[in-house]
């Protein structure tokens, strides 16, 4: 069953509500009797490797820019 809480109650109990959501609960926040938002657990995103694109920045990338090119960037 979905728990419905009013906005003021959600503001005062946010931390406790988040613990409930982490445990799998779904909570609807209502303004008066009108539902306006739903708190649900985040989908498990799994592990993502950094550098997911097979590209390596060449060492020359870190070389100082030529004066005219630097001036173009600063313009």
Chain segment 55-69, per-residue pLDDT in tens: 788 899 899 989 999
Tens digits of residue pLDDT in 5-42:
999 999 999 999 999 999 999 999 999 999 999 999 98
The tally of domains found in the chain comes to 1
pTM: 0.58
Residue 20 lies in a domain: yes
Asked whether residue 69 is assigned to any structural domain, the reply reads: no
Domain of residue 19: give its range. 3-39
Sign of CA dihedral 26, 27, 33, 34: negative
Q: What is the CATH number of the domain that holds 31?
A: 3.40.1620
User: Is 24 exposed, middle or buried, given 0-12, 13-18 or 19+ CB atoms closer than 10 A?
Assistant: exposed
Give the per-residue pLDDT at 10: 96
Query: Alpha-carbon distance 66 to 57, whole Å?
Result: 19
What pLDDT is attached to residue 25?
94
């Amino acid at each position: 069953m979905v728990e419905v809480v009013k906005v003021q109650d959600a503001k005062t109990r946010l931390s406790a509500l988040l613990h409930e959501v982490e445990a799998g609960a779904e909570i609807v926040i209502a303004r008066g009797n009108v539902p306006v938002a739903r708190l649900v657990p985040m989908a498990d995103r799994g592990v993502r490797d950094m550098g997911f694109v097979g590209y390596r920045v060449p060492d020359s990338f870190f070389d100082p820019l030529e004066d005219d090119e630097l001036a173009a960037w600063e313009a």
